[in-house]
């Protein structure tokens, strides 16, 4: 199978509008004859469910949380980008497009990114209309802040809770449709497999997480909006429940998995403080607007930060990247922090941390302004660490945060399985090898509000009158019994190690060999260790309780079992991509200054992996990336 | 630190529950409260017992999943802090901690410390939105909103829907939750056209499942986002205005 | 309209706020009238007689007082009925009690509204039996029309005075939380913890308590005899 990106012809600026015209439509009376399943209720899923229901489709929406309002989009702090150019600082659709392609180190599809920039403005309009309380200027206009990887101020924000407010906007739109009966919501329900019949996605098999009941759900199309997979690292900024099961099961049913090695390590997280640690907490990138990042010049300096004189501080980002300073993209900031820690100059528990200091900003702007901008973040930091950032520098360290990789989709956001759409973080489409801050919210909402609702009609219109496959069809029965078998297997291992114990070990392997920097030897080692660990998991895991009840251990076990497989694909992809690009930093491929060195000749492509059965090596497919509007260059933020 | 825990265990929604006692010997003060429970759960699992079920997800105080009554206080003793952000340094060596699920007729216990908070979604369904379809929005800067109004709306919008207000209220009232959404949307011009319909609908949905407000203000004290009960007054005003302006036939 | 108010606890609380405010007005007026005790028997008894006379000649002697009494009774009735209905709603809202529940931050007064209200009701009934109806079991030496004498004779019985003082404590707590709450219930926006509202409520509760307690105390101490 060759990968057809289906990018429409024509000039970049006209592709989307032309395509929207060319897409087949479903007339309003016919929309109510279609059923669409949406898995996930975050920004992408919630927005899509509400929008499709508004248009007239019948939607079934699933989430593992007890309410769609709790999807992990809620935790995004900093903001959402849009090319409104309200600040009159030279922003434009093209500049947002350019910054995003460049930020992604020229590993994304031009047409997708351009479309994203194009719809960014409508997103802000939509959210404001929903009552999202974005920050305002005294004149009543929307306020903006700067974010990493950009030299314009285009980030809209609602204190440090932008993701929450945008999600609640989508959630409220969704609840409105639930009240109208257009959306049936299934909270605490987890998708455990995809049903494919006649090479089309026909529905899903789920587990009711309260009763444990396994159920089939059928539809004319299935949309996955299940987020990213960086919980493969165990310690990440993702919510504990975030998992890769939905996309992994779809991969095993034939959807290609693209660029799994592109995982973003966010530079500003609270450092690890103990072995029992269950997750890492992100501090918004917006802090880098006013905070200065530094370490002591000398290794092993044990003084408190405020006791270190100016002359003995190394503001390493400002030193190395004078043009962007503390606002370099995330991958670069993370790597620079790792470098100084590797030199022994790190400052927190185990020497794994750098300072993020507001001393100057407080002197320049006053405590009140800083409190106004970051008050809730500072409080959160103090609550977790017991340190007061108004008085002493914060300590931060990079942590896994976001996966740019995901299921491969074409321009219409359809995967390689017809009728299976993938939106938001779950797909691979827009961020290339590195995502810029405040772009995840933009992409999730773009996909959900403004892209999928158009493109899905094109597919549905081609299947008018066919109707969904009945759930008593053998295709459903077959998948259901596989799902049941897997649950029984997990419950019957009866080993001696807990799921978390395995997960922690898997995470350590991934972090050590496929984390901020990677090299051939380490990846090869990981590819030996992971299958071994997986085997021992199925031999020695201990899952208590029964299947037909609320059983959190069982939920976790199923997710970790899938991570055990996904981790291997991630390492394999990292090994095969013999270049450094964006977050994927291979030690073998760097410039003399230690920057990522791309290999455009051989790797200007998307790697999309096809599942070929357990025990077989997955097949690597390639979608060549063509750059007609920007010239890939060595990224420079100096 | 050594701690003694008394935890509510209940296998199924319709099963009888009881407190179970556990002793922990090596709790680090740097642990979060939920990490302390993780450690206990690991021990229980290895000992062949079933781990304690509790809701949690983001563990950074924003998703609103975590929901524990700790020593008689929702989310524990710290102000403006969700359970997931509570750290063990708050407690002293030798303390006894009683951990219970939220108790409300509207929040039935599903298992151990997990309750069903679906009634909150029901309140939102009754009007907690602006009826604007995707695509029909006007340019974002067309309607200026003063900074004070935007900030006030944001104060209300900060609600994470955890249910601590209900859990702590002696009446089991959901006023703070409902008022936060009513207020946010009444303060912003975008929400004004349907403000009357909204408040009447949401209050009705709220009172179907929850108790009434006696102005105890305990909700504000335990709210992880410290949302002010001033918003409850605002909702009451909205409600009275809407009810009195309603045509008699309604 | 009114039906919407009646169907909703929020509406009922608003009505309770308004009836409460009216009753508070009555309490203030009642106290102001009673201060005539300090002006001597003639003044007080004349005032008591005037209460019957007020409104005439439009209203025949004593009838306006009955209209006011009927109004008060209705207000008290609505206040109590709604309190009862809302309380039942609240009791139903938490069928399973906590093993342990702390009252975070809520003043004692807010938690004694229900039983405080019941105590006040019992007190009012006794107060009527004592000074209005002059029932023999309640008052040892009741002389119809001689209010001054009845008050002095009544309060000389120290357990009765003590009961009055305790009841005034309950009334003060009830008023304190009620006066503060009515702003909330009637939708007075602004910060819920605004100090002036608390100060207002505290001040008036204290005034009512001090004023009303002064009567039995001044009899017991012999200031008034």
State the CATH architecture for A474-602: Up-down Bundle (1.20)
Phi, psi of B211, rounded to the nearest 5 degrees: -80, -175
How open is the CA angle C1-C3-C9, to the nearest 5 degrees? 105
Nearest CA in chain A to B88: A384
Structure tokens at B245: 């302006």
What percent of chain B stands above pLDDT 70? 99
Say how far apart CA C13 and CA C10 lie, in whole Å.
5
Structure tokens at A528: 């030996």
Average pLDDT rounded to a whole number, residues A465-473? 96
Which residue, chain included where needed, has tokens 């969704």? A174
Question: Could you tell me how many residues make up chain C?
Answer: 225
Average pLDDT rounded to a whole number, residues A240-249? 98
Contact list, B211 vs chain C (CB under 8 Å): 89-90, 92-94
Say how far apart CA A518 and CA A581 lie, in whole Å.
12
Say how far apart CA A123 and CA A137 lie, in whole Å.
20
CA distances from A441 to A72, A118, A485, B237 (A): 11, 15, 37, 35
Query: In this complex, does chain B touch chain C, defined as having at least 3 beta-carbon pairs under 8 Å apart?
Result: yes
What pLDDT is stored for residue A539 in this prediction? Answer: 98
CA atoms within 13 A on the CB side of A375: 11
Against chain B, the chains showing at least 3 CB pairs within 8 Å are A, C
In order, the DSSP letters of A151-173 are SSEEEE-STT-HHHHHHHHHHHH
Structure tokens at A523: 């990846």
What percent of chain A stands above pLDDT 70? 100
Residue A271, Cβ neighbours under 10 Å: how many?
A: 24
* Residue range A246-279, pLDDT digits in tens: 999 999 999 999 999 999 999 999 999 888 999 9
- DSSP assignment letter at A307: G
**How close A401 gets to chain B, by Cα (Å)?**
12
B50 touches chain A (CB under 8 A): yes
Residue A607, Cβ neighbours under 10 Å: how many?
A: 24
What pLDDT is stored for residue A38 in this prediction? Answer: 98
Closest to C178 (Cα-Cα) out of C170, C2, B218, C127: C170
Say how far apart CA B36 and CA B27 lie, in whole Å.
7
Say how far apart CA C103 and CA C111 lie, in whole Å.
9
* CA-CA-CA-CA dihedral for A56, A57, A58, A64, to nearest 10: -120
Average pLDDT rounded to a whole number, residues A198-215? 98
Average pLDDT rounded to a whole number, residues C82-97? 96
Phi, psi of A241, rounded to the nearest 5 degrees: -85, -15
Say how far apart CA B149 and CA A478 lie, in whole Å.
56
Say how far apart CA B121 and CA A66 lie, in whole Å.
10
Average pLDDT rounded to a whole number, residues A482-493? 98
Say how far apart CA B168 and CA B21 lie, in whole Å.
23
Average pLDDT rounded to a whole number, residues B170-178? 98
What pLDDT is stored for residue B250 in this prediction? Answer: 46
Say how far apart CA B34 and CA A481 lie, in whole Å.
35
Q: Least CB-CB distance to B137: which of A128, A140, A453? A: A128
pLDDT band for A373, please (50, 70, 90 cuts): confident
B96 touches chain C (CB under 8 A): no
Average pLDDT rounded to a whole number, residues A511-516? 95
Structure tokens at A18: 């032309």
Whether C193 shows a pLDDT value over 60: the answer reads no
Helix (H) or strand (E) holding B100: strand B96-100
**Would you call C92 and B217 a contact, using CB atoms and an 8 Å cutoff?**
no
B residues 107..166 contacting C (CB < 8 A): none
Say how far apart CA A327 and CA A619 lie, in whole Å.
38
Query: Which sequence spans correspond to the domains of chain A?
Result: 12-264+402-461, 266-400, 474-602
Say how far apart CA A206 and CA A545 lie, in whole Å.
19
Closest to A562 (Cα-Cα) out of A204, A258, A71, A192: A192
The residues near C72 (Cβ < 8 Å, ≥ 6 apart) are C23, C26
The pTM of the full predicted model, rounded to 2 decimals, is 0.96
* Residue range C38-70, pLDDT digits in tens: 999 999 999 999 999 998 889 999 899 999 999
Q: Least CB-CB distance to B120: which of A67, A84, A172? A: A67
Query: Which sequence spans correspond to the domains of chain C?
Result: 2-220
Looking at domain C2-220, its CATH class is mainly alpha
Q: B217, B241, B244: best mutation site toward chain C, by most C Cβ within 10 Å?
A: B217
Phi, psi of A341, rounded to the nearest 5 degrees: -70, -40
Residue C29, Cβ neighbours under 10 Å: how many?
A: 10
Q: At B29, is the secondary structure helix, strand, or coil? A: coil
Average pLDDT rounded to a whole number, residues A511-520? 96
A residues 368..407 contacting B (CB < 8 A): 379-380, 383-384, 386
C residues 108..137 contacting B (CB < 8 A): 110-111, 113
Whether A207 shows a pLDDT value over 80: the answer reads yes
ipTM: 0.97
B89 touches chain A (CB under 8 A): yes
Q: At A138, is the secondary structure helix, strand, or coil? A: coil
How open is the CA angle A557-B32-A335, to the nearest 5 degrees? 80
**Would you call A164 and B62 a contact, using CB atoms and an 8 Å cutoff?**
yes
State the CATH architecture for A12-264+402-461: 3-Layer(bba) Sandwich (3.50)
**How close C24 gets to chain B, by Cα (Å)?**
18
Three-state helix/strand/coil letters over C68-121: HHHHHHHHHHHHHHHHHHHHHHHHHHCCCCCCCCCCCCCCHHHHHHHHHHHHHH
Closest to B180 (Cα-Cα) out of B137, B211, B219, B134: B219
Structure tokens at A277: 């640690």
In order, the DSSP letters of B105-126 are TTS-EEETTEE--HHHHHHHHT
Contact list, B221 vs chain C (CB under 8 Å): 104-106
Say how far apart CA B67 and CA B57 lie, in whole Å.
11
Say how far apart CA A59 and CA A177 lie, in whole Å.
9
Question: Could you tell me how many residues make up chain A?
Answer: 638
Say how far apart CA A419 and CA A427 lie, in whole Å.
15
Whether A384 shows a pLDDT value over 70: the answer reads yes
In Å, how far from its chain's centre is CA A114?
A: 19
* Residue range A17-65, pLDDT digits in tens: 999 999 999 999 999 999 999 999 999 999 999 999 999 999 999 999 9
The residues near A433 (Cβ < 8 Å, ≥ 6 apart) are A104, A105, A107, A108, A259, A262, A331, A404, A581, A582, A583, A584
Q: At A38, is the secondary structure helix, strand, or coil? A: strand
What pLDDT is stored for residue A348 in this prediction? Answer: 87
Whether A180 shows a pLDDT value over 50: the answer reads yes
Helix (H) or strand (E) holding C125: helix C113-127
Whether A162 shows a pLDDT value over 70: the answer reads yes
Helix (H) or strand (E) holding A204: strand A200-208
Say how far apart CA A500 and CA A505 lie, in whole Å.
8
The answer to whether the CB of A61 falls within 8 A of the CB of A219 is no
Q: At A320, is the secondary structure helix, strand, or coil? A: helix
Q: All domains of chain B, ordered by start, with CATH?
A: 3-111 (3.10.20.30), 117-245 (1.10.1060.10)
Nearest CA in chain B to A448: B134
What is the rounded average pLDDT for all residues in chain B? Answer: 96
Report H helices in A211-275.
245-252
Angle at which helices A520-540 and A552-576 pack, to 10 degrees? 160
B177 touches chain C (CB under 8 A): no
Contact list, A67 vs chain B (CB under 8 Å): 117-118, 120-121, 161
The answer to whether the CB of A588 falls within 8 A of the CB of A522 is no
**How close A124 gets to chain B, by Cα (Å)?**
6
Q: A51, A59, A66, A143: best mutation site toward chain B, by most B Cβ within 10 Å?
A: A66
State the CATH architecture for A266-400: Alpha-Beta Complex (3.90)
What pLDDT is stored for residue A479 in this prediction? Answer: 98
Average pLDDT rounded to a whole number, residues A83-92? 96
Q: Pairing mode, if any, of strands A214-218 and A420-422?
A: unpaired
B200 touches chain C (CB under 8 A): yes
In order, the DSSP letters of A403-464 are ES-EE---TTSB-SSTTEEE-GGGB--SSTTSPPTT-HHHHHHIIIIIIHHHHHHHHHHTTT
Average pLDDT rounded to a whole number, residues A384-410? 95
Phi, psi of A313, rounded to the nearest 5 degrees: -110, 145
* Residue range B137-153, pLDDT digits in tens: 999 999 999 999 999 99
The answer to whether the CB of A282 falls within 8 A of the CB of A399 is yes
Q: At A309, is the secondary structure helix, strand, or coil? A: coil
Q: At A511, is the secondary structure helix, strand, or coil? A: helix
* Residue range B109-165, pLDDT digits in tens: 999 999 999 999 999 999 999 999 999 999 999 999 999 999 999 999 999 999 999
What pLDDT is stored for residue C194 in this prediction? Answer: 66
* pLDDT greater at residue C130 or residue C189: C130
Average pLDDT rounded to a whole number, residues A159-169? 95
Which residue, chain included where needed, has tokens 């740019």? A404
Average pLDDT rounded to a whole number, residues B181-193? 98
What pLDDT is stored for residue B20 in this prediction? Answer: 98
Catalytic residue annotation of A: 330
**Would you call B147 and A383 a contact, using CB atoms and an 8 Å cutoff?**
no
Structure tokens at B212: 């009434």
Phi, psi of C8, rounded to the nearest 5 degrees: -115, 140
Nearest CA in chain C to B216: C106
Say how far apart CA B231 and CA B182 lie, in whole Å.
8
The answer to whether the CB of A608 falls within 8 A of the CB of A257 is yes
pLDDT band for A595, please (50, 70, 90 cuts): confident
Whether B248 shows a pLDDT value over 70: the answer reads no
């Amino acid at each position: 199978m060759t990968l057809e990106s289906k990018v429409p012809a024509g000039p970049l600026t006209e592709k989307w509008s032309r395509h929207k015209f060319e897409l087949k439509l479903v007339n309003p009376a016919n929309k109510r004859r279609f059923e669409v399943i949406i898995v996930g209720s975050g920004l992408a899923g919630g927005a899509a469910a509400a929008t499709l229901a508004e248009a007239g489709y019948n939607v079934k929406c699933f989430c593992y949380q007890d309410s769609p309002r709790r999807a992990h989009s809620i935790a995004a702090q900093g903001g959402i980008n849009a090319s409104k150019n309200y600040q009159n600082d030279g922003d434009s659709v093209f500049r947002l497009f350019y910054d995003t392609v460049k930020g992604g180190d020229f590993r994304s599809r031009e047409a997708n990114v351009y479309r994203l920039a194009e719809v960014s403005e409508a997103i802000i309009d939509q959210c404001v209309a929903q009552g999202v309380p974005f920050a305002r200027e005294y004149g009543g206009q929307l306020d903006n802040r700067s974010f990493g990887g950009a030299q314009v101020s285009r980030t809209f924000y609602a204190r440090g809770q932008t993701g929450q407010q945008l999600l609640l906007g989508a959630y409220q739109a969704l609840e409105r449709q639930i009240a109208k009966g257009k959306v049936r919501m299934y909270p605490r329900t987890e998708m455990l497999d995809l049903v494919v019949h006649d090479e089309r996605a026909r529905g899903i098999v789920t587990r009711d997480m309260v009763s444990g009941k396994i159920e089939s759900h059928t539809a004319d199309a299935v949309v996955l909006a299940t987020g990213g997979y960086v919980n493969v690292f165990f310690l990440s900024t993702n919510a504990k429940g975030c998992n890769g099961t939905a996309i992994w099961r779809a991969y095993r049913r034939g959807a290609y998995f693209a660029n799994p090695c592109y995982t973003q390590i966010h530079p500003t997280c609270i450092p690890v403080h103990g072995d029992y640690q269950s997750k890492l907490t992100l501090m918004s990138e917006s802090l880098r607007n006013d905070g200065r990042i530094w370490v002591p010049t000398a290794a092993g300096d044990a003084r408190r930060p405020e006791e270190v004189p100016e002359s003995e501080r190394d503001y390493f980002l400002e030193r190395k990247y004078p043009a962007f300073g503390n606002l370099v993209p995330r991958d670069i900031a993370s790597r620079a922090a790792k470098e100084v820690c590797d030199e022994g100059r790190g400052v927190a528990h185990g020497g794994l941390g750098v300072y993020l200091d507001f001393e100057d900003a407080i002197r320049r702007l006053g405590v009140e302004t800083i409190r106004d901008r970051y008050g809730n973040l500072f409080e959160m930091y103090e609550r977790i660490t017991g340190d007061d950032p108004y008085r002493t520098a914060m300590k931060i360290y990079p942590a896994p945060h976001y996966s740019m990789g995901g299921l491969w989709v074409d321009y219409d956001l359809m995967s390689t399985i017809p009728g299976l759409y993938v939106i938001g973080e779950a797909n691979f489409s827009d961020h290339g090898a590195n995502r810029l801050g405040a772009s995840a919210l933009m992409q999730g909402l773009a996909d959900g509000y403004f892209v999928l609702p158009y493109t899905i009609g094109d597919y549905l219109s081609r299947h008018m009158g066919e109707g969904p496959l009945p759930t008593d069809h053998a295709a459903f029965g077959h998948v259901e019994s596989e799902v049941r078998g897997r649950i029984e297997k997990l419950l019957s291992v009866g080993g001696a190690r807990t799921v978390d114990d395995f997960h922690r070990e898997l995470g350590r392997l991934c972090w050590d060999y496929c984390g901020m920097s990677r090299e051939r030897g380490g990846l090869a080692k990981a590819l030996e260790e992971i299958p071994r660990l997986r085997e021992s998991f199925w031999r020695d895991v201990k899952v208590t309780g029964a299947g037909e009840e609320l059983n959190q251990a069982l939920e976790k076990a199923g997710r970790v079992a899938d991570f055990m497989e996904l981790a291997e694909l991630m390492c394999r992809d990292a090994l095969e991509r013999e270049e450094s690009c964006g977050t994927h930093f291979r030690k073998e491929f760097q410039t003399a200054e230690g920057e990522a060195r791309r290999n455009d000749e051989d790797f200007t492509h998307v790697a999309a992996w096809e599942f070929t059965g357990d025990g077989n090596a997955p097949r690597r497919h390639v979608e060549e990336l063509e750059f007609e509007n920007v010239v890939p260059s060595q990224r420079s933020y100096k | 630190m050594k701690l003694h825990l008394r935890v509510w265990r209940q296998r199924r929604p319709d099963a009888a529950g009881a407190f179970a006692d556990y002793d922990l010997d090596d709790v680090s003060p740097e642990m979060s409260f939920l990490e302390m429970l993780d450690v206990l759960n690991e021990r229980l699992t290895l000992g062949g017992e079933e781990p304690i079920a509790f809701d949690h997800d983001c563990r950074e105080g924003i998703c609103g999943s975590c929901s524990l009554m700790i020593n008689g206080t929702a989310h524990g003793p710290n102000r403006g802090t969700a359970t997931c952000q509570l750290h063990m340094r708050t407690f002293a060596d030798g303390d006894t901690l009683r951990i219970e699920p939220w108790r409300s007729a509207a929040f039935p216990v599903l298992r151990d410390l997990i309750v069903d908070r679906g009634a909150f979604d029901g309140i939102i369904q009754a009007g907690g939105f602006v009826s604007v379809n995707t695509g029909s929005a006007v340019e974002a800067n067309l309607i200026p909103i003063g900074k004070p109004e935007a900030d006030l709306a944001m104060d209300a919008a900060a609600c994470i829907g955890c249910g601590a207000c209900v859990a702590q209220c002696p009446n089991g009232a959901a006023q703070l939750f409902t008022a936060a959404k009513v207020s946010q949307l009444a303060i912003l011009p975008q929400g004004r056209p349907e403000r009357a319909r909204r408040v009447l609908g949401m209050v009705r949905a709220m009172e179907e499942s929850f108790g009434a407000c006696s102005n105890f203000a305990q909700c504000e004290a335990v709210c992880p986002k410290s949302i002010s009960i001033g918003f409850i007054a605002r909702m009451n005003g909205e409600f009275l205005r809407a009810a009195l302006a309603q045509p008699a036939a309604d | 309209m009114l039906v919407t108010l009646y169907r909703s606890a929020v509406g009922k609380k608003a009505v309770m706020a308004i009836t409460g405010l009216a009753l508070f007005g009555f309490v203030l007026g009642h106290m102001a009238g009673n201060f005539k005790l300090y002006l001597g028997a003639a003044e007080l008894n004349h005032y008591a007689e005037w209460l019957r006379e007020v409104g005439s000649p439009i209203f025949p002697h004593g009838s306006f007082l009955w209209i006011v009494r009927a109004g008060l009774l209705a207000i008290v009735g609505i206040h109590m009925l709604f309190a009862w209905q809302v309380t039942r709603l609240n009791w139903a809202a938490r069928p399973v009690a906590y093993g342990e529940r702390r009252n975070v931050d809520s003043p004692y007064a807010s938690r004694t509204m229900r039983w405080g209200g019941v105590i006040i009701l019992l007190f009012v009934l006794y107060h009527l039996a004592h000074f209005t109806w002059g029932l023999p079991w309640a008052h040892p030496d009741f002389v119809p029309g001689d209010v001054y004498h009845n008050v002095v004779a009544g309060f000389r019985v120290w357990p009765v005075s003590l009961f009055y003082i305790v009841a005034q404590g309950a009334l003060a707590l009830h008023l304190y939380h009620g006066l503060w709450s009515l702003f909330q219930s009637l939708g007075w926006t602004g910060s819920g913890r605004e100090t002036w509202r608390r100060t207002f409520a505290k001040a008036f509760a204290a005034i009512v308590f001090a004023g009303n307690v002064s009567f039995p105390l001044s009899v017991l101490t012999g200031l008034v005899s």
